[in-house]
Structure 1
Amino acid sequence: MKLHQLQALVAIADCGSIRAAARTLAVSQTAVAKALRELESQLQLPLLVRNASGVMLTQYGRSLLLHARQMLGQLEQAQLELAHLRGQAEGQLRLGISPWMGMTLLPEVVLLFRQRMPQVRLEIFEGLMAVTLPRLREGTMEFAVGLVSALLPRPEFSSDPLFSYQMAVIARHGHPKQQCRSIHDLLDQDWVVNYPDANHQSFMNELFWQHDAHIAEERVQRAQSLQLMLSLMEHTDMVSYCPEPMLTVPMFQERITRLNLRESFATDTIGIVTPRNTQLGTAAQCFVDCLLQVVRRRSRSSKSEDRRLFDTLKVLV
């Protein structure tokens, strides 16, 4: 297998057609089609099914695609490492970040990283681990700063904890149920939450079932972004559930409040998550170092905004 053949396979999978893949790779359609024919011939397996709407990968093509992405990602990291050793570090670093961290610590970390590696372009994915784990698995993301839980596939991924924090039930300021003191008083309310579909059972147990609170499941709506969740809470009487550090973000602090319920909820942990048995590249390690520097400095800061944030966090590094 040759590099240009793997690049052609990945481009076709991403673009959905040979024509679009050729544009992405800046080569002719003939060159892309030839690369795939040669690859299929070498493997003696069909990798693509061609139809009127474009192309689809066969089961063999999908299996090879995972390895092709990993190999191309490792090659990109190697090129970045060599450029760094030459004093000419450039390239792209892709990483995932937990939403509340994107609104608190991330801006300062990015500024520090840009000072140290100005030629490296960042691609940052905000989202839950359900968004980042597939990218880590296929090698298109080097690491994620996200939730470390029992649901993290331990054989595939390793993690280094950074913080732990409490989860909280929240509502808009002035909500009719703002003075409630038990989750049982909120079972007649509509909820809007941000969590991946695969976590439904654990989420329902964490918030309701462990407290012997049984809510009609049609009352629990899912929003695929924090901004959607916030908008629905602000313009309706929906209640929600979020990490306590989120309540220190000005845009949240001004619009929502924590409900002081007698029940205790989950303690979650945020950490650096990487594919197991892989080593962070130079740029990724630099980013992590910048993150740790910002965390240590701000955790000792006397500024009111830093104190509010770190009062909700237990630093584990």
Structure 2
Amino acid sequence: MRYGSSGMSMTLQQLRDFVAVIEHGGFRAAARALLVSQAALTKSVLKLEAVHGVELVLRMQSGVALTEPGRQLLSYARAILHDVDEAMAMLHARQQAERLTVVVGASIDPALTLVPRVAEDFRRRNRQANVHIQYGAPGSLVDMLREGRLDVVVSELPGGLNTGSLCVEPIYREALFIASRAGAPVVLDGATLAGRPWLVLGETNHARQPQDALRDVFARWGWPMPATVYSSSSLIAAIDEVSGTDTLCLLPERIFSHPVAARRIRKTSVDGQPVAEREVAIITKGSRHAHAGVAEFVSMTKSLARIRDLAFA
């Protein structure tokens, strides 16, 4: 970087060389510290003096001393170099932060503990990193991934989810249980279950209706399909509905012990077994991640997913 007009100018390197000579007490010591030859360092300072027509440094047997112009320039040079170093550090930090910004989509079960815990560990490893978490239903998250609004999705894989050419890596299976109002035991009788309203947590579209999310589960246990099935995309709204009415819902096991649901809803299994299971997977656009930060986040998620007793974040 060069300062001044074409006739009288100085470079940052000349200022650094000049300051180094003074701070190290001579050209030989400064050259060793800067890992340059003494001749090159001497030439740099001499050129600075020649261009501006002033003597800055007095060469003596015992070392060097500053002239009055040299003393004044030293004060300016230190201030300039300090500001330049701070500016470069700021730009480097911004570059690192942008490089390590990861935008993650998370559906219900991984959003409860896994993704927040990975984000916490990721930020601890990468002090300048940013992790943005977008919560939502699997279909919406996959659409956002395709549109480039997300770097990675950690989500359950409900039937009918169109992942197309995306890379899907299952990491664990989540267990689903029947949720009902606390204090209202569920009778596991086909006719009774079919007579209760059911709520499906997630999104539906014209191709996939709320009943479709329950069809395989009810067929597995030989239960007739319920007459009333509707959907909600909000976990809080679903818990409010189940805890205050006779509505039933299939929810991941982890939700029952979450503070927002504990003591409000009851968990029911079938002979001690989950009513259903479904895979939770990491979904990306392919094996080549957008940047190193995404690859690191994915790797950490896979590792932490092996720990199934994570406390709520």
Short-chain TM bin: 0.5 to 0.7
Match status 1:126 vs 2:162: no
Q: Give how far 1:182 is off.
A: 2.9
Q: How many residues align?
A: 214
In the alignment, is the contact (CA less than 8 A) between 1:182 and 1:261 conserved in 2? no
Name the larger-Rg structure. Answer: 2
Aligned to 1:253: 262
| CA pair 106-254 structure 1, distance change in 2 beyond 3 A | farther
Match status 1:100 vs 2:109: yes
Alignment of 1:73-152 (within 5 A): 88-91=95-98, 92-149=101-158, 151-152=160-161
| CA pair 278-223 structure 1, distance change in 2 beyond 3 A | same
In the alignment, is the contact (CA less than 8 A) between 1:163 and 1:269 conserved in 2? yes
Mapped to 1, the partners of 2:286 and 2:174 lie a distance apart of: 25
Aligned to 2:224: 213
Q: Give how far 1:154 is off.
A: 4.9
Q: Identify the match of residue 279 of structure 1 among 279, 289, 292.
A: 289
Aligned to 2:244: 235
In the alignment, is the contact (CA less than 8 A) between 2:108 and 2:137 conserved in 1? yes
Q: Give how far 1:307 is off.
A: 7.8
| CA pair 109-255 structure 1, distance change in 2 beyond 3 A | same
Post-superposition CA distance 1:13-53 (Å, at most 9, x none) = xxxxxxxxxxxxxxxxxxxxxxxxxxxxxxxxxxxxxxxxx
Q: Which residue identity does 2:216 align to in structure 1?
A: E
| CA pair 294-149 structure 1, distance change in 2 beyond 3 A | same
3-state SS in 2 of match to 1:108 = helix
Mapped to 2, the partners of 1:289 and 1:278 lie a distance apart of: 13
The unaligned stretches of length 5 or more in structure 1 are 1-82, 300-305, 310-317
Q: Which residue identity does 1:111 align to in structure 2?
A: E
Q: Which residue identity does 1:122 align to in structure 2?
A: V
Q: Which residue identity does 2:278 align to in structure 1?
A: D
More displaced stretch, 193-202 vs 235-244: 193-202
Identity %: 21
Alignment of 1:1-317 (within 5 A): 88-91=95-98, 92-149=101-158, 151-175=160-184, 178-198=185-205, 199-200=208-209, 202-210=212-220, 211-216=222-227, 219-261=228-270, 265-276=275-286, 278-296=288-306, 298-299=307-308, 306=309
Give the TM-score of the pair, scaled to structure 2: 0.60
Runs of 4+ in 1 over 4 A off after TM superposition: none
